[in-house]
Amino acid sequence: MSSKTWTAVDDYIVSSIFEADPVLDAVLATNRDQGLPAIDVSAAQGKLLSLLVRIRGASKVLEVGTLGGYSTIWMARGLPAGGKVVTLELDPHHAKVARSNFARAGVSAKVDMRVGPALQSLAALGSENVGPFDLIFIDADKPNNPNYLSWAMRLSRPGTVIVCDNVIRDGAVVKKDSGDANVEGARAAFSFIGAETRLDGTAIQTVGAKGYDGFAIAIVD
């Protein structure tokens, strides 16, 4: 089984279940034209995030790592009227592209994007009392995973769902001392979730258009 098959199956999932989505197609085209790396979640994963927002009944969502806003738009679409996604992005160019994508997708009123290092934005959110969030999606610089998980705990309530992306990394997560900071970040997410008694979690390996990776999911007790 090859990554070609995984991509074909992802295409099958999307073409058989999802409606045609010219807005999200245009978002991905804009990201490509603007030189953003193609590291957004896949369509099937984006839809899962949207479903998780609905399953949780979330009205306050926090995302760490916006890129061009592809995952943000999926989550915003799952929100009820009056719901909000606060999304944190370091790179001003990514943020500019994301802002235009939010407008195109008609979700600007549901998105509060904070530009700057996420750790600074998280500290600001902590003092602004905008939390607790109902669902938190962590998808930024992987070495900071434990810091983001730590903030996620502080900005959560019992029942908050935390999703952490890219924790399998082609299976490299099982390699101790890999020397790869992203892999060490993935391992740190596992250590954090395993050690935090207030988190009940698991991780799911995924294949698809984005290769072999996976996400961790946990609920705050």
Residues contributing to the site for ligand SAH (CB under 6 A): 39-41, 65-67, 70-71, 88-91, 94, 117-118, 139-141
Q: Could you tell which of ligand DHB, ligand SAH, Mg ion, none binds residue 134, using a CB distance below 5 to 8 A set by kind?
A: none
The pair of structure tokens assigned to 13 is 């999932």
Position 63 contacts Mg ion (CB under 5 A):
no
Least separation in angstroms between residue 88's CB and ligand DHB is 13
Position 166 contacts Mg ion (CB under 5 A):
yes
Q: Which residues contact 168 (CB under 8 A, 6 or more apart)?
A: 186, 203, 205, 206, 212, 213, 214
Position 165 contacts ligand DHB (CB under 6 A):
yes
Least separation in angstroms between residue 158's CB and ligand SAH is 26
- Strand, helix or coil for residue 162: strand
CA atoms within 13 A on the CB side of 182: 12
> What are the helix (H) ranges across 34-180?
43-56, 70-77, 92-105, 118-128, 145-154
Least separation in angstroms between residue 159's CB and Mg ion is 24
Task: Identify which of 109, 104, 101, 57 has the alpha carbon closest to the alpha carbon of residue 79.
Answer: 57
Which of 63, 89, 134, 165 forms a contact with Mg ion (CB under 5 A)? 165
Q: Supply the DSSP symbol for 42.
A: P
Which of 39, 115, 130, 172 forms a contact with ligand DHB (CB under 6 A)? 39
Residues that bind ligand DHB (CB under 6 A): 39, 139, 165-166, 182
